[in-house]
Chains A and B, each alone.
Chain A
Amino acid sequence: MTHFLSQTRSLRRLTFYFAAIALVCLAFADIDIGTRSPGHELWLMVKGLVTPRIDDPRQWLDAVAYSLTFSLQGVMLAAGFGFVFSVFYHLAWVHILAACLRSVHEVFWALIFIQVFGISTLAGVLAIALPFAGTLAKVYGEQLEEIDSTAARALHPDGRAGVSHFFYTRLPQALHAMRNYTAYRMECAIRSSVVLGFIGLPTLGFHLETALRTGDYSAASALLLTLLALVYSLRFWFRAKLLWLLVPAAFLAKPITAQWNTANLAQFLRDCVPAPLREDWSLQKTQSWLLWLGEQIASGVWNTALLAQIVLVLTGVFALLGSTLNSSHFVGGWTRRAGDGLLLVLRSLPEYLLNFVGLIVLGPSMLPAIVAMTLHNGAIIGHLLGRHSDELEPAVIPSGPLGRFAYYYVPTLYQRFLAYCFYRWEIIIRETAMLGVLGIPTLGFYIDSAFEFLRFDVALILIGVSAGMTLSADAISRRLRHRFLETGQPSAFETQIRLSPSAAQTP
Chain B
Amino acid sequence: MAVLLELQECRLTYPNETKNAADKLALAIDHLTIRKGDRIALLGRSGAGKSTLLRHIREQLADRASWCPQQASLVPQLKAFHNIFSGGLERHSGFVNLRNLLLPSPRFRAEIGELADRLGIADLLWTKAGELSGGQQQRVAIARALFQQKSVLLADEPVSALDRLQGHKVLELLASRHSTSVIALHNAQLALKVCNRVIGLKDRKILFDCPADQLDTEVIERLYQ
Residues of A within 8 A of B (CB): 150-151, 153-155, 157, 162-165, 167-169, 172-173, 175-176
Q: Are B77 and A168 in contact (CB under 8 A)?
A: no
Give the distance to chain A from B24, nearest Cβ to Cβ, in Å. Answer: 21
Give the distance to chain B from A175, nearest Cβ to Cβ, in Å. Answer: 7
* B135-176 Cβ-contact flags toward A at 8 Å (1 or 0): 000000100100010000000000000000000000000000
Q: CB of B216 within 8 A of chain A?
A: no
Q: Are B77 and A176 in contact (CB under 8 A)?
A: yes
Give the distance to chain B from A156, nearest Cβ to Cβ, in Å. Answer: 9
**Which residues of chain A come closer than 8 Å to B71, judged between CB atoms?**
150
Evaluate whether A162 and B94 lie within 8 angstroms (CB atoms) in the complex, with A154-B67, A167-B101, A168-B89 already known: yes
Q: Are B101 and A151 in contact (CB under 8 A)?
A: no
Interface 9-residue window, one of B15-23, B32-40, B80-88: B80-88
**Which residues of chain A come closer than 8 Å to B98, judged between CB atoms?**
163-164, 167
Q: How far is the CA of A175 from the CA of B82 in the complex (A)?
A: 15
Closest residue of A by beta carbon distance from B148 = A155
Give the distance to chain B from A436, nearest Cβ to Cβ, in Å. Answer: 45
Give the distance to chain A from B216, nearest Cβ to Cβ, in Å. Answer: 36
Q: Are B59 and A168 in contact (CB under 8 A)?
A: no
Q: How far is the CA of A162 from the CA of B69 in the complex (A)?
A: 21
Interchain Cβ contacts under 8 Å between A and B, 15 examples: A151-B74, A153-B69, A154-B73, A154-B141, A154-B144, A155-B67, A155-B87, A157-B62, A164-B90, A164-B98, A165-B86, A167-B98, A168-B89, A169-B86, A173-B76
Q: How far is the CA of A176 from the CA of B62 in the complex (A)?
A: 33
**Which residues of chain A come closer than 8 Å to B75, judged between CB atoms?**
151, 168-169, 172-173
A-B contact count, CB below 8 Å?
61
Please name 6 further chain A to chain B contacts, defined as beta carbons within 8 Å, in addition to the given A151-B83, A168-B97, A169-B75, sorted by A numbering: A153-B73, A154-B144, A155-B89, A162-B90, A164-B94, A167-B97
Give the distance to chain B from A334, nearest Cβ to Cβ, in Å. Answer: 35
Q: CB of B78 within 8 A of chain A?
A: yes
Q: How far is the CA of A164 from the CA of B94 in the complex (A)?
A: 5
Q: Are A150 and B77 in contact (CB under 8 A)?
A: no
**Which residues of chain A come closer than 8 Å to B83, judged between CB atoms?**
151
Overall SS of chain B's interface: helix
* B55-81 Cβ-contact flags toward A at 8 Å (1 or 0): 100110010000101010111111000
**Which residues of chain A come closer than 8 Å to B69, judged between CB atoms?**
150, 153-154
Q: How far is the CA of A178 from the CA of B86 in the complex (A)?
A: 22
**Which residues of chain A come closer than 8 Å to B82, judged between CB atoms?**
168
Q: Are B78 and A168 in contact (CB under 8 A)?
A: yes
Residues of B within 8 A of A (CB): 55, 58-59, 62, 67, 69, 71, 73-78, 82-83, 85-87, 89-90, 92, 94, 97-98, 101, 141, 144, 148
Closest residue of B by beta carbon distance from A170 = B75
Give the distance to chain B from A172, nearest Cβ to Cβ, in Å. Answer: 4
**Which residues of chain A come closer than 8 Å to B148, judged between CB atoms?**
155
Closest residue of A by beta carbon distance from B79 = A172
**Which residues of chain A come closer than 8 Å to B144, judged between CB atoms?**
154-155
Closest residue of B by beta carbon distance from A154 = B73
Give the distance to chain A from B36, nearest Cβ to Cβ, in Å. Answer: 21
Closest residue of B by beta carbon distance from A175 = B77
Q: Are B97 and A164 in contact (CB under 8 A)?
A: yes
**Which residues of chain B come closer than 8 Å to A167, judged between CB atoms?**
97-98, 101
B85 contact from A153, A162, A168, A176, Cβ within 8 A: A168
Give the distance to chain B from A294, nearest Cβ to Cβ, in Å. Answer: 49
Q: How far is the CA of A164 from the CA of B88 in the complex (A)?
A: 10
Give the distance to chain B from A112, nearest Cβ to Cβ, in Å. Answer: 37
A163 contact from B74, B78, B94, Cβ within 8 A: B94
Give the distance to chain B from A168, nearest Cβ to Cβ, in Å. Answer: 4
Evaluate whether A168 and B86 lie within 8 angstroms (CB atoms) in the complex, with A150-B71, A154-B69 already known: yes
Q: Are A173 and B77 in contact (CB under 8 A)?
A: yes
Closest residue of A by beta carbon distance from B129 = A151
Give the distance to chain A from B55, nearest Cβ to Cβ, in Å. Answer: 8
Q: How far is the CA of A172 from the CA of B148 in the complex (A)?
A: 20
Closest residue of A by beta carbon distance from B68 = A154
Closest residue of A by beta carbon distance from B55 = A157
Q: Are A168 and B101 in contact (CB under 8 A)?
A: yes
Q: Are B59 and A157 in contact (CB under 8 A)?
A: yes
Q: How far is the CA of A295 from the CA of B94 in the complex (A)?
A: 57
Give the distance to chain A from B131, nearest Cβ to Cβ, in Å. Answer: 14
Closest residue of A by beta carbon distance from B86 = A168
Q: How far is the CA of A169 from the CA of B101 in the complex (A)?
A: 11
**Which residues of chain B come closer than 8 Å to A157, judged between CB atoms?**
55, 58-59, 62, 67
**Which residues of chain A come closer than 8 Å to B58, judged between CB atoms?**
157
Q: How far is the CA of A55 from the CA of B168 in the complex (A)?
A: 79
Q: How far is the CA of A168 from the CA of B78 in the complex (A)?
A: 8
Q: Are A155 and B86 in contact (CB under 8 A)?
A: yes
Of residues B58, B97, B144, which shows the largest number of chain A Cβ atoms within 10 Å of its Cβ? B97
A165 contact from B73, B76, B89, Cβ within 8 A: B89
Closest residue of B by beta carbon distance from A164 = B97
